[in-house]
Amino acid sequence: MIDAEKDAIRERIAQWDRAAPVMQRLRDEDIRAANTAEAIEAFDGFFKDAARHYHPLPTSGLIEQQRWFAKLSGR
């Protein structure tokens, strides 16, 4: 890697170091300003539609995983 590339990488890291606190502050402000009740109400129809059209799978995969573990352990 040439010195110019190393300098560019260092500068990019420095940019992220400067940007991170600003981005975190904006994120925190957005979270504080969010109206959770309004958001729940806005997405309620989507949730109900998904629940109506996409039924849950009979297993999460955990049961199958436990079967594999039992086989591997020799039970």
**Per-residue pLDDT for 52 more than 80?**
yes
DSSP 23-36: HHHHHHHHHHH--H
User: In terms of pTM, does the model score above 0.85?
Assistant: no
Q: What is the pLDDT of residues 58-71, one digit of tens each?
A: 778 888 899 899 99
Q: How confident is the model at residue 57 (pLDDT cuts 50, 70, 90)?
A: confident
Torsion of CA 42, 44, 50, 56, to 10 degrees: 140
Per-residue pLDDT at 43: 94
Q: Give ∠ CA 13-14-17 in degrees, rounded to 5.
A: 90
Per-residue pLDDT at 55: 83
CA distances from 2 to 7, 23, 26 (A): 9, 31, 36
**Per-residue pLDDT for 6 more than 80?**
yes
